[in-house]
Chain A
Amino acid sequence: MLSMRNLSRVYRTDTVETSALDQIDLEIASGEFIAIMGPSGCGKSTLLNMIGLLDSPTSGSYRFDGEEVAGLPEAKLAGIRKRSIGFIFQSFNLVDELTVRENVELALLYHGIGAGERARRVDAVMDKVGIAHRARHRPSQLSGGQQQRVAVARAVVAAPKLILADEPTGNLDTVHGEEVMRMLQLLNAEGTTVVMVTHSPAHADYAQRVVNMLDGRILQERRRAA
């Protein structure tokens, strides 16, 4: 589904040059569930952003669905993002001013889908993650677990091929964390590719492959027995 060759990302400020990603080679096949692990600042999130087309490589190649995407203009990237990728964040990143329902619908807003079809798909996905009864609430009125379920619903409502989750359980207690992990597992079982950054070895165990990173390089890849 995607392949990175020799991919680097360098951040420059006036005085310092930081190599966030250093000559990454990574292949991810369709239908995989991958966990990226590593200490803070090792480049996990940069890699996830790179995969999600939120950041562009300084050098190297990145093919997404067979198409070279390194150096594509932002408008093209935005198009691929909305068609193919769903995002889940540690801090949920829901819009406070919108209701739960509107937050989920947001992911369909830029797809040119009619209001009726949008409503149908939003209802279906809210049912699936079990937050339909909270549709009219504001994010601030929900618990953390409920908020992350909304975020998951928003990530999957457009039926993306790839879901990127940046420490989706980081702000949740164990019970709610497990709940989110089971949801990701279910989505993966339905055929969606999932790439997740996590600190938790227990949650990494849900993945089929674990990528360990250090100082912007991939240290080790470990495939779990099925």
Chain B
Amino acid sequence: MLKNHLIVALRRLIAQPGASAVTIGGLMLGFAGCLMILGYVRAERSYDAWLPGHDRVFQVQTVIRPPGTDVVHHQGSSFPVFERMGADFPQVEAITSIQVGKTVAEHDGAPVFLDAVSVDPGFFRVFPLTFLHGSAETALSDPAAIVLGESVARQLFGTADVLGRSLTTGAGDGKVPRRIAGVLADLPPNTNLKLGVISLRDPNGVPPPMRGWGNFDQQHFVRLKAGADPATINAALPAWEWRVVPSRLEGGAMVGMASVFDFHLVPITAIHLGQAQEGAIVPGGDARALTTLTVVALLTLAMAIINFLNYGTARAIARARDVSLRRLFGASRRQIVAQFTVEALIAAAIAMLLALALVEIATPWLEALLETRLPRGYLGENGLLLPATGLLVAVGLLGGLAPALYAAKGRPAHALGANRGSAETPGSARARTALVVVQFAIAIGLIASTAVIYSQTRFIARVDPGYRRDGLIQIDNAWRFTQGSEYDAARPQMQAIPGVTGVARTSLTLNPGEQPMRLMQRDGATDHVTMGFYGVDDAFLQTMDVPLLAGRRFDVARQGDRFDGLSPAALGERGINVVINRAGARMFGLASPGAALGQVVRVAFPGWDGDGMQMVPATIVGVVENTRLRTAREPLEPLVYAYEPQQTSTVLVRYAGARPAEVMAGLERVWRRLEPEIPFEARFADDIAADFLAADRARAVLFAGFSALAVLIACLGLYGLAAFAAERRTKEIGIRKVLGATVADIVRLLAWQFTRPVVLANLVAWPATWWAMREWLNGFDIRVPLTITPFAVAGLLALAIAVATVAGHALRVARANPIHALRYE
């Protein structure tokens, strides 16, 4: 019996190649999209799940509530956490403090940057990583010992077997010869850690400014004892903070720093998609985007399944006569259901095989687009085999049972009765129309969303950033280059490069990472505010070409502009001059840029002893335009500039009338002469800005891809239904033609039948999409207005596509000679 079912099923697929292609093609697209997004979701959720005992490893994160500004969720925590938490919480088996940065080593005569992380001896107790050479016990036995990752070892030495060899890291005075005491197997790509060169940091040697509670430059991870409940610790942490974090005197009152920040444990596997992304070692994922993609993928799959069901029931009606005959000859209802189910399963299986092929082809493209690695392979926990099989069986059963039950339900006599064009009941036609409405609503929603996303992406790419972006180069890692005599030597050489018109130093880069926030208070105000405080030199504002709104820029000649190496206490006596931006003026409550001039604000300077705080009076001497240096999602940062070149580590170069590549080459020559031990890393401002757009742009592309997929699936479905309807209405159309209807009349009739559900779909799609897009746009600081245009465009596009899809059938049927339809029933 099964063999018979299989034969019939395959013959039916082959006998109707067009219909089979439509059904299977749609299902294939739905499956493929779903499986790819599943892979992406799995990749994003698998971060550090490979770590042995990962369920007991937690990161100590910090929620910082700076006065007068937004809450910051930070992955770092204060260094004292490391010193006290292990002792105060017996559940903690091990705790480690890691600080991430970069170091320099020489390779083939040129300096190269290496990822570097300095850890305490307890690191390998929290992270039991695999050693290729050496062991965790001996690896970090003394400060001269380092552990290399496998790929770093191969990069530098050409082999991973480098135990006992030496490597000199650092530059200038910081140059230290090191002994390689271990080589680690490379970490999987799905990790929050970045290990290149691991060195020992003596916890007792950490300098006082780094030991303050307000410093979050290090990350802490704990491994809990087996059976320990992290919730208990999280519940106890607030009280612990009040106990251990010192309060400080401020304006005559004791202010507890414990009220400003809260520590809590976050499972290591929850870091990547977690809320806290400030201070992340590896850029985190976007949980919202992931959810959106999942929803879109499921909607696409739903559309494909709707096609499958719609087409299945439509065919079942067409086959009602055939089914009735079989039942007259004694076929049981079960046999008919089995026949339908086998057919649907075979169609679903073919679709799945094609979908898997499509996934194989499309995965590298998706990886490039999302800049991630997706799981490959079919077997195992993250394999595709299980979800693919599950999906195919579920869809196959659904697609077989629904129409089978429908077809088997009817009484044989009904379908065989004379003069009945079909066994169609009005109810089933309505259900199919409803499904078409749902499909087109999804398609219209996706098209409209794509249009909104596209125009927003374009808008943020073109918005005025508040400085001149073209003709600007940023040189990174210039922390030695910007200081003292080295810069005095470099500056004239850089300015001598043809085309260079300006050179400046800044601590505010074009792609700022951390926001160095300071507590501030305007004289006479009761509330404190928190704002970014950036050291720049006197050429910075001109070089950036930031419009001056009021007052003046920095002037080296004026004593009050300069810090002159004074201690915070001495600055507190003397005061400093600052320039603020427009958003800063607003934050201080100053009505206009002009009104800000001459106003005095007090800026908190960390004392030289770590925890102490000195409020330094700062006079506003200039107000400049806002600059947009982060993504368009983040609000314009209110900030204060101070003339403090000793705090800078980035050089900006403005050029004009010269070939960019030649300017860049000239800068590199100067750099090599003066800074041979550090790699030259410089980028054009335009390229840096493009990076900020990359994630949103990738999402836009992905969204557009899924919209196209959805439209295609909807069209396939409509095409199939139109074919079915045209076939079913052949007689009626024949009658109409005999009665004098022209081809145009008939085409209009059929087109209208399918236009109505599309029009209805607009009514469903518009409000839902409007809401979703408004939510999405609200995530941006600057945004395009939400107009009716993308919705109208999407609606009309869907309509045009629907009519074009149906028109072919309609034309064929309308042109057919009516006598064939009418003569033979």
Contact = CB atoms under 8 A, between A and B. Distances in A.
Contacts of A91: 419, 822, 825
Given A54-B738, A106-B735, A139-B419, A93 B822 contact: yes
Nearest to B744: A75
A210 to B, nearest CB: 23
B739 A55 contact: no
Contacts of B422: 96
A97 B740 contact: no
Best-surrounded residue of B735, B739, B742 (most CB of chain A within 10 A) = B739
A81 interface: yes
Contact of B739 (A45, A92, A110): A110
Interface string B423-443: 000000000000000000000
B738 A81 contact: yes
A24 B811 CA distance: 33
Interface string B796-825: 000000000000000000010111001101
B350 to A, nearest CB: 32
B573 interface: no
B734 interface: yes
A54 B736 contact: no
B421 interface: yes
- Bin chain B's interface residue count: 20 to 34
Contacts, number: 66
A107 B736 CA distance: 8
Contacts of B732: 95-97
Contact of B742 (A55, A78, A93, A154): A78
A161 interface: no
Interface in A72-112: 74-75, 78-79, 81-83, 87, 89, 91-97, 106-107, 109-111
B740 A78 contact: yes
A111 B422 CA distance: 29
Nearest to B825: A91
Residue among B419, B731, B736 facing the most chain A CB atoms (10 A cut-off): B419
A93 B735 contact: yes
B114 to A, nearest CB: 76
Given A45-B823, A91-B419, A110-B745, A55 B817 contact: yes
Interface string B127-142: 0000000000000000
Contact of B740 (A96, A110, A140): A110
A49 interface: yes
B819 A54 contact: yes
Nearest to A84: B740
B462 interface: no
A126 B818 CA distance: 26
B743 interface: yes
B688 to A, nearest CB: 65
Given A49-B819, A54-B819, A92 B743 contact: no
B741 A110 contact: yes
B818 A75 contact: no
B737 interface: yes
Contacts of A139: 419
Given A54-B818, A91-B825, A96-B421, A78 B735 contact: no
B414 to A, nearest CB: 11
Interface in B734-761: 734-743, 745
B741 A78 contact: yes
A181 B437 CA distance: 49
B3 interface: no
B819 A106 contact: no
A78 B737 contact: yes
A52 B739 CA distance: 11
Given A75-B742, A78-B742, A110-B740, A89 B421 contact: no
A39 B819 CA distance: 19
A140 B817 contact: no
Given A54-B817, A75-B743, A110-B742, A93 B736 contact: no
Contacts of B737: 78
A94 B743 CA distance: 20
A137 B822 CA distance: 22
21 contacts: A49-B819, A52-B738, A54-B817, A55-B819, A74-B742, A74-B743, A74-B815, A75-B743, A78-B737, A81-B739, A82-B739, A82-B740, A87-B738, A92-B419, A97-B732, A107-B739, A107-B740, A109-B739, A110-B740, A110-B741, A110-B742
- Interchain residue pairs A-B with the least CB separation, the first 7: A82-B740, A110-B740, A95-B732, A107-B739, A54-B819, A78-B742, A81-B740
